[in-house]
Structure 1
Amino acid sequence: MKAKKRVAVHVSHFSWFEVFLSFLVMSLVAAVPGLLYGQHNWHVVFSVYSLWYALYWVIVALVFVGFTAWQRYRSMDRPLRELSDAAERVASGDFSVYLQPLHSPANYDYLDAMFANFNTMVAELGSIETLSDDFVANVSHEFKRPLANIEGYAQALQLPNLSEKDRLQYTTTIIQATQQLSSLVTNVLRLSKLQNQTIKPQLELFDLNTQLTRVVLDHDAMLEAKSLEMAIELPEKLELTSDAALLRVVWQNLLRNAIKFTSVHGQISLKAVQTKTAVVVSFQDTGEGMSAETQRHLFDKFYQGDSSHASEGNGLGMAMVAQILHLVNGEIQVTSAIDQGSTFTVTLPLTQEK
């Protein structure tokens, strides 16, 4: 998506000093007749020229009122009108609006704070629009790939004189593509529910040791397929109050990610420790590691740092991990370097209020 240019809209700042100065000037102007004629002569002048004196005061009052109205318009009405116009532009879908506060953040008044908050809101709305466009584009791309495989191999199955070996291979490829589509749909729906907080954490006290062990056993075939060594270091007893079902998804994705990027005959280590207030679970592998750029985008939807593994996933696993940990008040840290493996460290509160 093409980045939009930000438009600076300069606004005026309300100054109490200017109001006081204008009041002082008007007061001095009103006192000019008294200063010119003196206190004693002024009574004589006033009795003779009372009508002109009244007219003089009307003129002074009109000038003062007009100046005050102009000052109010310049310092309040105009910027508020500009804010209203900017809001209308945002409502019509233009997120390039930017209201420039006159003062530095340390000297903000209520108008400056209003403009700063407005700018933050517009920037967030623009980001949401960008993410929405990118999400649609990425989903479309991810659907096209398995659909193209299904279409291509389905047409190939119609070829005459096709050998039984080729027929079996094409059928297997079609089944794998449909499974990939099913997984993509499931993950998109699950991630959508997580982001919209449709899924609420179901807190319960459960045995984390048992859960981690079962997750490893469920992936035993994948580990054996690449001859990977799995090292597990868990305390004798480790209980946690959290959402067991959601955390199982976290461990599954972290382990699959480690298997995916670890070369044959490599090693994966699973370690869990308990502190006074938290549980720390880490997955460490001897895989190919990640660049700093990959680490920055690792938890973005559909991001896959290594295109050579793109067919093995859909780029939603790490995004789901981040969303789940956010829901259960957890944190995740990544330490990695190219050709030096990666370590994913998850920190979870030991107890939570239901």
Structure 2
Amino acid sequence: MFSLNILIVEDDSVSALLLQRALEKNNHQIIGIADTGEKALEILQENHSDIVMMDINLAGELDGITTTEIINERFDIPVVYLSASSDAETLNKVVGTNPSAYVIKPFNIRELNMVIELAIFKDRKEKELQKLNNQLEEKVKIRTAELYEANKELTKALEKEREINELKTRIVMNVSHGFKTPLTSILSSAQLLQMYAEKDHPFKQKIAKHGTKIENSVRALNNLLTSVLFFGKADANKMEYKPKKMYLGAFVKELLDTVKAGIENGVVIKTELGALPKTITSDQEILYQTFENLLSNAVKYSKDGGEVRFKLDFQDNFLIGEVKDFGIGIPKSEQSQLFDRFFRAKNVGIVEGSGLGLSIVKKCMEVMNGQIHFESEINKGTTFEVKIPVN
């Protein structure tokens, strides 16, 4: 067994002497013998001790339990109690001081040595555990401070990003609105040119041709600006669903007239209307964006002179629309990206487009709590179906 520096605190001189001899026989060093708690504290103040053998009943004002409490607080040294008493009241007092061990008198040397070894082992393990806990607490404290700083930086970055996004949205919307007015003027002028071309004029055909080009280009640019404005509102969380009573027949007529006016490839739209109610309650603007983009896309990616089928039906308070074309189709490998902003399939060739149309349709479905499904096959066409709740 390893050698220890031990303080004996015992008011019975005979018992103290016997204990000293027993401990010295096992190569331990006795740094002192105290018969009072006060004297024990004085010895510990001047000398290093690995362990204290403490009698509970002492001669001075401080008993063994009180002295142990002071030792725990000042010196953090393991204490082994020595007592001839093992009654419940004494044991309860002893437990409160967290002793390293408790030995009942009389004791034998072998038992005493075992108790001392266990007391030292317990003390060392507790101190190791405390050290690990302290290290862990320090690491947690450092990590918490790091996370706090990182969170502050992240908050600043997010706030900066929010400000930039707001600025971007304002710029986009202001610029888009700014373009709308001159575009309207250009469109009106192009239509007037075509009216003048109907009269007898040497350049009648050329005026009509270029007037039509201007009109179509303005419509395309106007549609692009409308799409940009749409996402500007969506990104700024200003897009709201505002259902109102609307006349469905007038809505369908306006929709088809607008889409047909922009057809340049001779595609024919065949319409099949089911048992539609005279009026429905929905957001007319969002509903228009949905079907206008689906029909315009179908026309755009159809073959020249081809056909687009538009079906509209009403069932159980749902407006069900189907747009089917027989055009270029969408490659299987790219169908998962179909609703991404600015995505355009690799097979679109020279067909002009912004890649925003289907993204708008998807967003409209989210706002109206609707559903959208599609099927597509290369060179055979694409079918979109939307199911929109209306009242």
TM-score band by shorter chain is 0.5 to 0.7
Residues 167/209 of structure 1: CA separation in 2 closer, same or farther (3 Å cut) = closer
Q: Describe how 1:46-195 pairs up with structure 2 within 5 A.
A: 47=37, 48-51=39-42, 52=44, 54-55=70-71, 57-60=73-76, 68-74=133-139, 76-90=140-154, 177=217, 180-195=220-235
CA offset at residue 239 of structure 1? 4.7
Q: Mark the runs of 5 or more structure 2 residues left unpaired by the alignment.
A: 1-5, 20-32, 45-51, 53-69, 78-125, 180-202
1:69-108 alpha-carbon deviations (Å, 9 max, x no partner): 433222x323322322433553575x9xxxxxxxxxxxxx
CA contact (8 A) 2:267 2:308 kept: no
CA RMSD of aligned residues (A): 4.7
CA offset at residue 67 of structure 1? 5.4
CA contact (8 A) 1:231 1:267 kept: no
Select which of 358, 363, 371 maps to 1:323: 363
- The aligned amino acid for 2:350 is S
Moved more, 166-175 or 314-323: 166-175
CA distance in 2, matches of 1:86, 1:181: 44
Q: Larger Cα Rg: Structure 1 or Structure 2? A: 2
CA contact (8 A) 1:282 1:344 kept: yes
CA offset at residue 287 of structure 1? 1.6
CA distance in 2, matches of 1:324, 1:194: 10
- The aligned amino acid for 1:87 is N
CA distance in 1, matches of 2:207, 2:258: 31
CA offset at residue 334 of structure 1? 2.2
Q: Mark the runs of 5 or more structure 1 residues left unpaired by the alignment.
A: 1-32, 96-124, 144-163
1:302-336 alpha-carbon deviations (Å, 9 max, x no partner): 323224212xx333222222222222222322221
Flag the structure with higher helix content.
1
Is the partner of 1:309 in helix, strand or coil? coil
- The aligned amino acid for 1:345 is E
Select which of 226, 232, 235 maps to 2:275: 235
Residues 219/175 of structure 1: CA separation in 2 closer, same or farther (3 Å cut) = closer
CA distance in 2, matches of 1:237, 1:330: 19
The reply to whether residue 262 of structure 1 matches residue 302 of structure 2 is yes
Is the partner of 2:76 in helix, strand or coil? helix
Residues 237/173 of structure 1: CA separation in 2 closer, same or farther (3 Å cut) = closer
- The aligned amino acid for 1:189 is L
- The aligned amino acid for 2:351 is H
CA distance in 1, matches of 2:240, 2:226: 18
Residues 87/325 of structure 1: CA separation in 2 closer, same or farther (3 Å cut) = same
Is the partner of 2:343 in helix, strand or coil? coil
1:199-224 alpha-carbon deviations (Å, 9 max, x no partner): 42221233435423442244345569
Partner in structure 2 of residue 156 of structure 1 = none
- The aligned amino acid for 1:49 is A
Partner in structure 1 of residue 243 of structure 2 = 203
Q: Describe how 1:221-232 pairs up with structure 2 within 5 A.
A: 221=261, 226-228=266-268, 230-232=270-272
CA offset at residue 257 of structure 1? 0.8
Partner in structure 2 of residue 249 of structure 1 = 289
Fraction of identical pairs, as percent: 21
Equivalences, count: 259
Residues 182/220 of structure 1: CA separation in 2 closer, same or farther (3 Å cut) = closer
Flag the structure with higher strand content.
2
Select which of 309, 313, 316 maps to 2:351: 309
Ranked by relative contact order (alpha carbons within 8 Å, sequence separation 6 or more), the top structure is 1
CA offset at residue 255 of structure 1? 0.8
CA contact (8 A) 1:230 1:267 kept: yes
